[in-house]
Amino acid sequence: MNENACEMGNLRIDSPPTTLRAIALERMRRAIIAGVFKPGQRLVERTLCEQLGVSRSVIREVIRHLDAEGLVMTTGQGPVVAKLAWDDARQIYEIRAALESAAVEACARVADAGVKAELRAAVDEIERRAAERDWMAVLEATERFYDAIFTAGGHTVAGEIVRRLHGRVAQLRVLTLGSENRRVTGPRRIREICEAITANDPEAAGAACRTHIREACAIAERLLAK
């Protein structure tokens, strides 16, 4: 969107040189979400140092961050990729249903043409990536879709919380996307939400959102059971 705002008098520098820490944090987070590091796996600091090419200071600070984020659990003998108990997952889906549907409804009430266009673009992206079977990309596009909704609806704090929760169930989400069913219904529900927002119909949007999450939860339960 706003790559370089060199036009106009806007010479403002808003991105102080990115730190190694920020890069490492992003990489580690994506690695965990993508399942490169399996739940329960030990995260040996010195090993990560070599893998990322940074010092232990950086790695340790990143691990602290991920720990607070809930993606990593620090046991007595060092950091471990957090594993999700089914009951936790169920609670997370419940909370998501509450926060996301509220945001979706708010968004449907206030959405203007700009927001609608943005959402449509995100949905298109999701469907395109789904067609390519690039599931990580689908996840990221979905994230952008929700981001737009939370921002437009003015629920930025809830958006932050949900982003956190998305990360924690991401392992499952990659699994659920493995379900042939979900590959179809997921994008369909998303499109329903988008269309309800486009029609400025809060009730329909909220309902579609809750249905979407309920379905995801059901699939996750089936997958976690086995």
Per DSSP, 85 falls in state: -
Binding mask 184-223 for a copy of itself (x = CB under 8 A): ----------------------------------------
Interaction residues for a copy of itself, span 132-161 (CB under 8 A): 154-158, 160-161
Residue 74 within binding range of DNA, rule CB under 7 A: yes
32-71 positions binding DNA, by CB under 7 A = 42-47, 54-58, 60
Q: x/- site string to a copy of itself, residues 52 to 81, per CB under 8 A?
A: -----x--xxx-xxxxxxx-----xx----
**173 and 138 in contact (C-beta within 8 Å)?**
no
Report the C-alpha gap between 33 and 121 in whole angstroms: 24
Burial (CB count <10 Å: 0-12, 13-18, 19+), residue 55: exposed
Q: Hey, which residues does 80 pair with through a beta bridge?
A: 42, 73
Helices 170-178 and 135-153 cross at an angle (nearest 10°) of 120
**Whole-angstrom Cα distance, residue 181 to residue 167?**
22
Residue 78 pairs in a beta bridge with: 75
43 binds, among DNA, a copy of itself, none (CB under 5 to 8 A by kind): DNA
Binding positions for a copy of itself, rule: CB under 8 A: 16, 57, 60-62, 64-70, 76-77, 87-88, 91-92, 95, 98-99, 102, 154-158, 160-161
Binding positions for DNA, rule: CB under 7 A: 17, 19-21, 42-47, 54-58, 60, 74, 77-79
